[in-house]
């Protein structure tokens, strides 16, 4: 999952929605076009997706817009960062949910920022 403080909304790509079996939950009333660095068609929205983070398996319900792009993509944007009062602690390489003293989730170390998502099965972030 990419934490993107420049993204107004959290995003899942359509191939990932299909892979996770979430397409039947897609609310197609929220269609349109997302624009920013590029442009992509918005296929709809997903609400209350259970996201499990870290070794302690901390769970949060998250909302995503779904983009019709070909690559697997998960972006944690400002909408959910604000909802969960997240702090990005770059010194300790942690994302803290719930503000100071909240639940800490380890970030990938800098040498692992480019990785194959298929190699993370069973670790890191899980979406259901």
The residue to which tokens 């039947």 are assigned: 24
| Tokens found for residue 110 | 């800098």
CB 42 within 8 A of CB 26: no
User: Residue 108 has which token pair?
Assistant: 């990938």
When pLDDT is averaged across residues 17-40 and rounded to a whole number, the result is 87
Q: Do residues 63 and 10 lie in contact, with contact meaning Cβ atoms separated by under 8 Å?
A: yes
- Among candidate residues 4, 27, 63, 79, the one labeled active-site is 4
DSSP single-letter state for residue 113: S
Asked about 71 being catalytic, the answer comes back as no
pLDDT digit string, tens, across residues 67-121? 999 888 999 999 999 999 999 999 999 999 999 999 999 988 766 655 444 443 3
Written out in words, the top-level CATH class of the domain with range 2-83+118-127 is mainly beta
């Amino acid at each position: 999952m990419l934490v993107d403080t420049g993204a107004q909304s959290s995003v899942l790509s359509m191939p990932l929605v299909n892979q996770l079996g979430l397409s039947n939950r897609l609310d197609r009333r929220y269609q349109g076009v997302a624009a920013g660095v590029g442009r992509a068609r918005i296929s709809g929205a997903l609400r209350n997706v259970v996201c499990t983070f870290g070794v302690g398996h901390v769970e949060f319900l998250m909302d995503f817009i779904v983009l019709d792009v070909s690559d697997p993509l998960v972006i944690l944007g400002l909408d959910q960062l604000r909802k969960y009062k997240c702090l990005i602690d770059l010194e300790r390489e942690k994302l803290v949910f719930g503000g100071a003293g909240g639940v800490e989730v380890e970030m990938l170390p800098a040498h692992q920022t480019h990785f194959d998502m298929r190699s993370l099965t069973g670790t890191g972030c899980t979406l259901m």
